[in-house]
Amino acid sequence: MFRRLLTHFISENKIRELHFARHYYHWSLSEQRPKPMVISCFEGGNGFADRLRGIISAYAYAKCIGVPYCLEHTEPYLWENYFVPNHYDWRLKEDEKSYNLRYARPVFFMDDARGNHILELNPALQYHIYSNQSFLSLLKKTFNVQLKYHELYDELFRPSVRLQSQIDKVQSDLGCDYVSVSFRFQRLMGDFDDVIGRVLSESERVALIGKCRNFLCELKKKHPEVSRLLVTSDSSTFVKAISDFDFCYVIPGDVGHLGTAQHESVLLKTFLDFYMISRAKKVYMAHTGEMYRGGFAQSAAASTNTIYEEILF
């Protein structure tokens, strides 16, 4: 009740900042001043696309104000197991992060935050940015710079040796001549653990699967120039239902939400899905009115500047 009342006077993001400052930070006059920098940090269950959006924006902000950028991502999985530095070394070194409020601050740009608050930050301090938002447009306008998502992504990331070996295996099986299409059902099929959405009745599920199967057939007709459709989905029920389509390819592995995933098979498949979507000739997000318009496929397409299209069917 008190928290709801408080949000009438102060934003939810500011409340989070105050909570973190109180519980995880301290104040000291004696500690050595750390170097100013921007550090991407994470807590909670945001998915991969949300995290990547926040990372790219925080990195762009660090570039705009001329300070180093680091990424701290250890939970629920270690980012470096899958993506490693490409042209810019974003790895956080031991003792670089300060929890002294005299020099460092937690900053939240979560959910519906517009990002304007970032323009009020002091570049002489160290900021630990928690964000699932993109504020590239704001930075472009404010600093009069060209910021391209795929170029920023390329500066930061390439697959780890471990991930690359799996990419090579999938690429050998799938080939290079494909378009991708993604379906997000959330809880509709009753086989994916998510926080929102209803579970369809059996007859509704059968009808929706039939509708999606028809869509795939029509999409393949639309792209006679490619040999396969790479299909990604959060529903194992749906994947099984299209297993008889020889023109559809699904990367093997378990499905789960990357914000809470612990199993290696779920993590590996998610990163593989992302990377292979990014290599497609074109990327589609297909959905009905009740299905979820997820940002995963769009984020993958943006990472390589690939053509992306949403289709409501």
Q: Tell me the domain boundaries of the chain.
A: 2-159, 169-312
Which residues of the chain, if any, have pLDDT below 50? none
Helix orientation angle between 48-65 and 264-278, rounded to the nearest 10 degrees? 60
Rounded Cα distance between 23 and 43, Å, is 14
Question: Which single residue is written with the structure tokens 């391209």?
Answer: 148
pLDDT (tens digit per residue) in 29-84: 999 999 999 999 998 768 899 999 999 999 999 999 999 999 999 888 899 999 99
Q: Full-prediction pTM beyond 0.85?
A: yes
Q: Is 71 exposed, middle or buried (0-12, 13-18, 19+ CB in 10 A)?
A: buried
Q: What is the pLDDT of residue 194?
A: 66
CB 223 within 8 A of CB 275: no
Q: What is the pLDDT of residue 261?
A: 56
pLDDT (tens digit per residue) in 87-108: 999 999 999 999 999 999 999 9
CA dihedral 96, 103, 33, 73 (to 10 degrees): 0
CATH class of 169-312: alpha beta
Rounded Cα distance between 240 and 220, Å, is 19
CB 153 within 8 A of CB 133: no
Rounded Cα distance between 136 and 6, Å, is 30
